[in-house]
Structure 1
Amino acid sequence: MRFLSLALSILLPAAHIVQAAESEAIVQAHILPRYALLDSETAKLADAAEADCRPQSEALQTAYHSAFDAWIGVAHLRFGPSEQGDRAFALAFWPDPRGSTPKALGALIRDADPALDAADSFASVSIAARGFYALEYLLYDPAFKDAQTAEYQCRLITAITQDIHRNAAAIRAGWEDGYGALLAHPGNDTYRSADEATRQVFTALSTGLEFNADTRLGRPLGTFDRPRPNRAEARRSGRSLRHVVLSLASLRELAGLISDSDAELDRKFELALERADRLDDPIFAGVADPAKRFRVEALQQSVRDIRSVLSEHVGPRLGIAAGFNSMDGD
């Protein structure tokens, strides 16, 4: 499998007027187009389920992958409209260390819960039973292929896809109808200065890299003595490595916009993507094999190297101190 075709770096402007210009470019070139794509692809997903909600439907599975791809391209933008109403969590409840998603889906199916019959009532069900990861269980997990409940599960698939699209459309509308202007043109109650807008984007970029290294790669790696391949993200639909690649490609684009094409950072992104391209382990099943595990660890280190360059080289030039912690903003 080759991913480089799925899959831009960082120098730096110090002047606030340049940072403000970058904020507008980030909104116009990165955020709005990617949320427009998510809106469009989730609409197609909902339409595909409406036409044929059977898990084995090829059109539905194709639409699922395209819509999920679009989500991974914006999954790092966990601020603004995606935070409102827990929309991001409703789209993507993962990691799920307690196995809440299959339990929540099982309860809905067992009780033939009528909550799926109306948008408002479905929005009130457990967040673990909504979004892409819940949909993956219904489409790909053998445990959810009971012929006796097939009709209800089909309706549940349709309800989940419609809920996904409603949330995606609401996030896009939030960005286009006001929030985008707040970030693009700092000097308002949300972003009082260009520095604050830059820090918000820098945090999203840094946290996205951290999530790839520590969660998307770290969870299946586990420890050398206790690897955890079954913890790989979206493994049932074969998307674990694909998510890392798609995320890195999107983060690379954002990195190029937040500054002015730093060659060192871009080389780090290129190396990580090349390592991912050579991995040939779509669900990280090889983490228990020492030779194959080494290649996954090398990819993880490449992602951490990108974040180090971002923190130690780019951040200070943007007025963000080296060692900035994206998890607490310090």
Structure 2
Amino acid sequence: MPRTHTLTLAFALTLTAVFPAVAQEGSALSPRVVNEAAVPAVMAKAVDDFIIPGYRNLTEKTAAATQATAKLCAAPSQATVDGARVAFSEMVGAWSAIEVVRLGPALEQNRFERFLFYPDRKSTGLKQVQAIVSKHDESATDEAKLKGKSVAAQGLGALEYVLYGTGAESLLNKDGDFRCRYGLAITKNLDTIANEFLAAWQKPDGIQAAWKHPGPDNPEFRDNREAATELLGILVHGVETVKDQRLKPFYESKDDKGHPKLAIYWRSGNTMPSIAANVRGLKTLFDVADMQSLLPEDSRSVAGSADFVFKSVIGMAGNIDGPIDQALEDKDKRAKLAFLSLNTNDLLDRLNKDFGGAIGLGAGFSFADGD
């Protein structure tokens, strides 16, 4: 039996053994009603214990990346190049954990796209970054002027190219002076955006107040049901993003040879670590907000089922190490990618159909359509 099928069968048997009712019934769970009394506390925990700490962690990593890049520009060497790259990877990890909150402040002033422009389907952004580097466009080394340029030229993708793209070896000496100063402007810009995220969510009478107090006069949520829908929507959209925008571009099926250069962060080797961080962030939100308290008492097994698959996806993503092009050429790692793809689809069903159905949204509720 092929290894991929063995992994799939093993997972299915394990899930059935641990959660027999959910595994057999799936989306056939009877529609219920959300535990409305629990909603305000769940929303408050989501803000206080996940969103704000997540953005605070991001500001720490963007500040560290700025400092590391400044050291590189001041004294180029292998050690300072390595320091800037480590700081970049840590910043990617922090961002990947909180980028799932793609609403509110993230949608204002193009903050999300300015922080991460992806996917770059026609390599338009890459060409802009390459042009800045090749032409030594000094305006790109000024944070204020960089902010006015294309979103593709000022975020993580641009910084990854600076640190890892063609010609990055020039960073080892003064030949890379312009390249480094451009990278420094990018890190400063990212640090500014990260602090804007944090400030917006920390403002007592801002979006956090709307999240914590659903009601008829609330501009965001007229009632507890709408609030619960938004929170579950973060989870569903987050898993959909991993499935459709993170995995599918470079690995669609076991018969597909793969497209490593379509993978996010492929140059820096952060593809799988970022995917693991995406799902880990979603699980953290699910846990710290105590989302299982939204479920009727007799449907709590749905939360246990989702938790099991969360752990499976995170663990498997963490087990696929090394450059993504090498992973696609490795039989064992391709089997793990197949397993990861299968379980990401399963996780999406358990959140959208099972959890959504159990809190009264009904099987087949489409967050993607905004219904």
TM-score by length of 2: 0.80
1:196 to 226, 233, 237: 226
1:47 to 40, 49, 67: 67
Mapped partners of 1:102, 1:148: distance in 2? 24
The letter for the 2-side match of 1:166 is T
Mapped partners of 2:342, 2:317: distance in 1? 12
Q: CA deviation at 1:76?
A: 0.8
1:71 to 82, 91, 95: 95
1:238/1:175 CA distance change after superposition, 3 Å: same
The letter for the 1-side match of 2:227 is A
1:284/1:314 CA distance change after superposition, 3 Å: farther
Mapped partners of 1:271, 1:231: distance in 2? 25
- CA contact 1:55–1:139 (8 Å) conserved in 2: no
- 2:212 — aligned with what? 184
2:342 to 275, 281, 301: 301
Mapped partners of 2:103, 2:347: distance in 1? 22
Q: For structure 1, which segment, 40-49 or 67-76, has the greater mean C-alpha deviation from structure 2 after superposition?
A: 40-49
The letter for the 2-side match of 1:97 is R
- CA contact 2:246–2:275 (8 Å) conserved in 1: yes
SS in 1 for 2:242: helix
TM-score by length of 1: 0.89
Residue 128 (1) aligns with residue 152 (2): yes
SS in 2 for 1:151: helix
Mapped partners of 1:97, 1:148: distance in 2? 33
Residue 85 (1) aligns with residue 109 (2): yes
1:192/1:104 CA distance change after superposition, 3 Å: same
Q: Percent identity?
A: 27
5+ long unaligned stretches in structure 2: 1-31, 294-299
Residue 238 (1) aligns with residue 279 (2): no
1:114/1:304 CA distance change after superposition, 3 Å: same
- 1:173 — aligned with what? 199
Q: CA deviation at 1:226?
A: 4.2
Q: For structure 1, which segment, 161-170 or 287-296, has the greater mean C-alpha deviation from structure 2 after superposition?
A: 287-296
Mapped partners of 1:76, 1:155: distance in 2? 30
Q: For structure 1, which segment, 46-55 or 69-78, has the greater mean C-alpha deviation from structure 2 after superposition?
A: 46-55
The letter for the 2-side match of 1:265 is A
The letter for the 1-side match of 2:286 is A
- 1:217 — aligned with what? 247
Mapped partners of 1:129, 1:149: distance in 2? 21
Mapped partners of 1:297, 1:236: distance in 2? 22
2:356 to 308, 315, 329: 315
- CA contact 1:109–1:149 (8 Å) conserved in 2: no
- 2:165 — aligned with what? 141
- 2:186 — aligned with what? 160
Mapped partners of 1:290, 1:211: distance in 2? 25
Mapped partners of 2:336, 2:137: distance in 1? 45
Q: CA deviation at 1:140?
A: 0.9
1:65/1:14 CA distance change after superposition, 3 Å: same
SS in 2 for 1:220: coil
- CA contact 2:120–2:126 (8 Å) conserved in 1: no
Residue deviations 1:222-254 (CA, integer Å, cap 9, x gap)? 452442122221111111111111111111112
Mapped partners of 2:179, 2:39: distance in 1? 49
Q: CA deviation at 1:116?
A: 2.8
- CA contact 2:96–2:277 (8 Å) conserved in 1: yes
Residue deviations 1:245-302 (CA, integer Å, cap 9, x gap)? 1111111112232333711111111222333344345525333555542320111111
The letter for the 2-side match of 1:38 is L
The letter for the 1-side match of 2:350 is V
1:287/1:110 CA distance change after superposition, 3 Å: closer
Mapped partners of 1:127, 1:277: distance in 2? 30
Mapped partners of 1:161, 1:241: distance in 2? 22
- 1:269 — aligned with what? 310
Mapped partners of 1:73, 1:55: distance in 2? 31
Mapped partners of 1:44, 1:240: distance in 2? 21
- CA contact 1:13–1:259 (8 Å) conserved in 2: no
SS in 1 for 2:249: helix
- CA contact 2:115–2:190 (8 Å) conserved in 1: yes
The letter for the 2-side match of 1:157 is G
- 1:8 — aligned with what? none
1:144/1:98 CA distance change after superposition, 3 Å: farther
Residue 19 (1) aligns with residue 19 (2): no
1:327/1:14 CA distance change after superposition, 3 Å: closer
Alignment of 1:93-112 (within 5 A): 93-112=117-136
1:282/1:248 CA distance change after superposition, 3 Å: farther
Residue deviations 1:61-94 (CA, integer Å, cap 9, x gap)? 2211111111001111100111111111111111
Mapped partners of 1:102, 1:72: distance in 2? 21
